[in-house]
Amino acid sequence: MTRIIRILCIALLTVVGLVGASLPARADNRCDRDIHKAEARLRDAVQRHGEESKIARKRREQLEATKRRCGDRHDDHHDHDMDHDHH
């Protein structure tokens, strides 16, 4: 009986460990997806309405808010790519 309880405890701890380890990766993936969407919306707004338009400013603010929410986990190389597109 003790052996069965021990095996069940080990199995439970293994499952909890696997699930716990995957949660930060899911958050990172969600943040990356959200940041990419915000960047795409900003590019679209700039192309359609101009760099200094109200909508572009709003999209820029949304992008910055998304980055802050995600803890700036995102590489800044995407920002540099966007800068090169406009020069």
How confident is the model over 47-74, as pLDDT tens digits?
999 999 999 999 999 999 999 998 855 4
The token pair that represents 67 in the structure block: 């980055």
Is the separation of the CB atoms in 47 and 19 below 8 Å? no
Domain count along the chain: 1
- Whole-model pTM? 0.54
3-state secondary structure of 76: coil
The backbone torsions φ and ψ at residue 50, rounded to the nearest 5 degrees and listed phi first, read: 100, 155
Determine, yes or no, domain membership for 38: yes
Tell me whether residue 72 is in a domain: yes
**Could you tell me the residue range of the domain that residue 62 belongs to?**
26-85
Say whether pLDDT at 35 is over 80: yes
| 13 in any annotated domain | no
With respect to residue 65, please indicate whether it lies within any of the assigned structural domains.
Answer: yes
In-domain check, residue 1? no
Q: Is residue 58 part of a domain?
A: yes
CB neighbour burial string for 45-71, b if at least 16 within 10 angstroms, e if fewer: bbeeeeeeeeebeebbebbeebbeebe
In a domain, 81, yes or no: yes
Residue 52, in any domain of the structure: yes
Confidence category of residue 10, pLDDT binned at 50, 70, 90: confident
State the amino acid at position 40 in one-letter form: A
